[in-house]
Amino acid sequence: MEINFLAILVAALSSFVVGFIWYNPKVFGTIWMNEIGMTDEKARQGNMLKIFGFTFIFAFMFAFMMQVLTIHQFGAMGMIGGDASKALPSYNAFMADYMDAFRTYKHGAFHGFISGLFLGLPIVATNALFEQKSWKYVFITSGYWVVVMTIMGAIVCGWK
């Protein structure tokens, strides 16, 4: 099983597409800015190269890990220590039978959604509780991550 860096790259870039829509003032952008106390003036003061550069790196890291969360064959690879050349013949037989099992966009989207719901939401909500952010903030921010993880999961799992 090889890592599909093109799928990871596209999945990482999908987070930007979702973000540009999700945080558009006509969608959730204005509400989100009000919830965090952000103004247009303050937003313009940010170093956009730094913000978007690191955002891409983090999105790439996220998309890379989505493979493990959405592609079951990574579990089989983990059972042999990641080196197929050292595996017993039963591993090769298993992979020959199941190499593409559950490798669909739909299956990846499902696991991405579940990951967003059970990983993204609790992380955002826990931080928000300590930061004393509103539930609007929690639902807007975690909703973004649920959507992104759903799309990333679909891309990395279905793209062969």
CA 80 to chain centre: 26
Residues in the chain: 160
Residue 122, domain extent: 5-158
Considering only CA atoms, give the Rg of the chain.
19
pLDDT of residue 17: 98
The tokens describing 143, both together, are 């909703």
* Backbone dihedral angles phi then psi of residue 117, each to the nearest 5 degrees: -70, -40
Decide: 145 and 124 in contact? Cβ < 8 Å. yes
pLDDT of residue 41: 94
Residue tagged 């799309």 (tokens): 151
Decide: 18 and 151 in contact? Cβ < 8 Å. yes
- What's the Cα-to-Cα distance from 29 to each of 17, 66, 68, 109, rounded to whole Å? 14, 26, 31, 25
How far apart (Å, rounded) are the C-alpha atoms in residues 79 and 57? 28
How would you write the pLDDT of the chain (160 residues) with one tens digit per residue?
Answer: 688 999 999 999 999 999 999 999 999 999 999 999 999 999 999 999 999 999 999 999 999 999 999 998 888 888 888 888 889 999 989 989 998 899 999 999 999 999 999 999 999 999 999 999 999 999 999 999 999 999 999 999 999 8
Question: Total domain count for the chain?
Answer: 1
